[in-house]
Structure 1
Amino acid sequence: MNGMSDEGFYDLAPLAALGCLNETDQEALADYATTDADFAQELAALQEVVNALPYTLPQIAPPSGLRERLQARIAQEMTVVRAEQMIWEPHPVVAGLTIAYLHRDEQRRLVSALVRCPPHTAYPSHRHRGFEQIYILEGTLQAGDRLCGVGDFIHANGGSIHAPSTIEGCLFLVHTSMDDEYIDGDLEPFAPAV
């Protein structure tokens, strides 16, 4: 920009007001504005026009429910369930089995919970609506032809069918669909209470 004519600075003023110049050129125009009061006034007037441009656009209403969805998402960014806050509930189908719900996602129909099975518990055969993931914390769990123990991880794909059982009892963390279906027609699909 060295050696630029006065006219050249005036030609670049609209680009400067829009913020389209690189930092060096923007500084050169700012320096020139300190030496030419008319140019400084022109640059300020252009900047006012640029600042007013957003106010000339038509107002667009945000989508219905956006505020509520945003607030719900912010509120759910992190949830901590303390051990003393866990409520162990009896399973509605399997006698003796208890569940402590950690998280329910109604929109995606997923649940995370701790499940405690007493010795000699058999869970009814069921089809997974979505995936199921189990992490064994205590005891053993028979999953198909595999005996799984502490630290073992089990993943069952959606559509798969199994009927896990335990001889010695167990405690596990499960992440699964709320809409799994029991194969025995007499049993109601299990959807945890909210």
Structure 2
Amino acid sequence: MTTSPPDPTHLRDLLPAQAFQTLKGETLEQLNQELSRSPTLRAELAQLEQAVAALAYSAPLVPVPPELRNALLEQFLPPGDVSLALSDFWQQLMQESHPLPWQPYPGVPGIELILINADYTQRRVQCLIRAEGAIDFPRHRHAGQEEMIILDGDVVIETQVYGRGDRVLAAPNSEHALSTINGCLVFMDTSLDNEIL
């Protein structure tokens, strides 16, 4: 029995779902096959991904009540005091990275990093980054998803101030600048191919 090729119109309808990274299984495989053959579909998907990435930065800022924030963090951290669990996580990271020296972050004075892991096949890096005092980090584009957990201090992205315990996700192809007012210590899982703009 011969299977017919996927209907391009149907696949085009799936692009918004793929921009939000919600497709799975056979549907995702079919779309990826068609994307590999169609520059037009790839271009449309890239535009949708940029729009999705911009959504997070264009939404109005709504303060999260501490009870809700703690309840969400408890979903990912061991039971108990969220601040204590976060502190324990930070202490564990520091113990694991203790033998590794802090090194200057290339091109940004005042920022240092400890490389925890670099996967050159997947083009991913995990590291600790710290800044002493007020620092501006240049605007950059994310080549892949970026996850940042603020372990101490503050991080300002656009106009949103994040503090200890906050987790910040940035979508592929999104852009932002960031800064710190009082200094910070963050865990970062990001792409090796991010581009400073």
Q: Structure 1 residue 83: deviation in Å?
A: 3.4
CA contact (8 A) 2:97 2:114 kept: no
SS at match of 2:148: strand
Answering whether residue 185 of structure 2 is matched by residue 167 of structure 1, we say no
SS at match of 1:164: strand
Superposition RMSD in Å: 1.1
Answering whether residue 92 of structure 2 is matched by residue 101 of structure 1, we say no
Distance 1:87 1:161 in 2: 29
Distance 2:135 2:174 in 1: 21
**Residue identity (%):** 35
Structure holding more strand per residue: 2
Q: Which amino acid aligns with 1:90?
A: P
- The residue number in structure 1 matching 2:8 is none
Q: Which amino acid aligns with 1:114?
A: L
SS at match of 1:82: helix
Answering whether residue 186 of structure 2 is matched by residue 177 of structure 1, we say no
Pick one of 161, 183, 192 that aligns with 1:147.
161
Answering whether residue 143 of structure 2 is matched by residue 129 of structure 1, we say yes
Distance 1:136 1:106 in 2: 25
Determine which structure has greater relative contact order: mean sequence separation of CA pairs < 8 Å that are 6+ residues apart, divided by chain length.
2
Answering whether residue 103 of structure 2 is matched by residue 89 of structure 1, we say yes
**Structure 1: gaps of 5 or more residues:** 1-80, 184-194
Distance 2:153 2:103 in 1: 20
**Structure 2: gaps of 5 or more residues:** 1-94
TM-score by length of 2: 0.51
- The residue number in structure 2 matching 1:61 is none
Structure holding more helix per residue: 2
Q: Which amino acid aligns with 2:171?
A: N
- The residue number in structure 2 matching 1:13 is none
Q: Structure 1 residue 143: deviation in Å?
A: 1.4
Distance 2:104 2:98 in 1: 17
Alpha-carbon displacement from aligned partner over 1:92-127 (angstroms, at most 9, x marks no partner):
110010000000000000000000012110000000
Pick one of 103, 120, 124 that aligns with 2:134.
120
How many pairs does the alignment contain? 103
- The residue number in structure 2 matching 1:23 is none
- Asked which structure has the greater CA Rg, the reply is 1
Query: How does 1:14-93 map onto structure 2 within 5 Å?
Result: 82-93=96-107
Distance 1:180 1:84 in 2: 26
CA contact (8 A) 2:149 2:187 kept: yes
Q: Which amino acid aligns with 2:148?
A: I
